[in-house]
Structure 1
């Protein structure tokens, strides 16, 4: 990859970041409402994965000089 994202690439990453943030918020909220232990475990795993994905997307937007 290049050091800098094109404008359209930055916008697409921002859209993905917005979508993943919404998914994370929904999963975290629903895990508090869920009563089934298996469903809670699935939602907890989704929260963990979503957090990691958000951090990766934020890295693309903020630390562009580190991208290779």
Structure 2
């Protein structure tokens, strides 16, 4: 069984889009925490921040197998 460590071009593009989306989610939650006065909502946004940071780290690790024209 052959395992591929590189991503195909379309997978690289999908990964890029997911990384952008999670980055925007992270920024939005961080910004909204500053103007939110409801403590329960702040806690939910903080949980989203933590989950987004974890997801971004995982996506960045996958990016190591991304195909680019630099190779």
SS in 1 for 2:5: coil
Which sections of structure 2, spanning at least 5 residues, go unmatched? 66-71
Structure 1: stretches of 5+ with no match in the other structure:
none
Look up the match of 2:16.
14
Moved over 4 A (4+): none
**By percentage of residues, which structure has more helix?**
1
Q: Deviations over 1:1-56 (max 9, x none)?
A: 62100000001000000010001000000011110000000000000000000000
TM-score, normalised with respect to structure 2? 0.84
How many aligned residue pairs are there? 63
With normalisation by structure 1, the TM-score equals 0.88
* Higher radius of gyration, 1 or 2: 2
